[in-house]
Amino acid sequence: MSRLKRYSLLVATMGLLVAAAAACAAGSGGEEPPIRGTAQVDSIDLLMLESFPVQITALVRGNLPDGCTTIDQIAQERQGNTFKVTITTKRDAGKMCTEALVPFEEAISLEVNGLPAGTYTVDVNGVTGSFTFDVDNVLRITLSTPPA
């Protein structure tokens, strides 16, 4: 076989392999469901805003595993004196992405209006912090009667 024919055969074979790989990457045409997970949280800072009733904001910092993963939902619930905050992530399945950590920062307002005095724990994906109310966090309006 001549050198030119071998080269042509090699180029044709490479073209078929590239086309086959592209077809495999495209999948069967059906969309795969996204990959869901929980965000990696590195730290939380609890900020007490100077107001009354007092407002608490959790400043959450962490890293997403790659350039395609995004924050999906932030949910909070309170059980007794513990706030449980869950940050979930979403990533399109089968997508090519950068393999580098992507930092994130989220400011989450906690639902603290009306809470009694006490110490409260905040758990964000396993990283915890706490804050204390010295007095009930309730705005009391006193109505006075006008003098007669």
The domain spans of the chain are: 1-30, 35-133
Dihedral angle at the C-alpha atoms of 14, 18, 23, 27, nearest 10 degrees? 130
Q: Is the pLDDT of residue 23 over 60?
A: no
Task: Give this prediction's pTM.
Answer: 0.73
pLDDT tens-place string over residues 60-93: 999 999 999 999 999 999 999 999 999 999 999 9
**Whole-number Å distance between alpha carbons of 53 and 140:** 9
**Whole-number Å distance between alpha carbons of 48 and 123:** 16
Decide which of 135 and 140 is more confident: 135
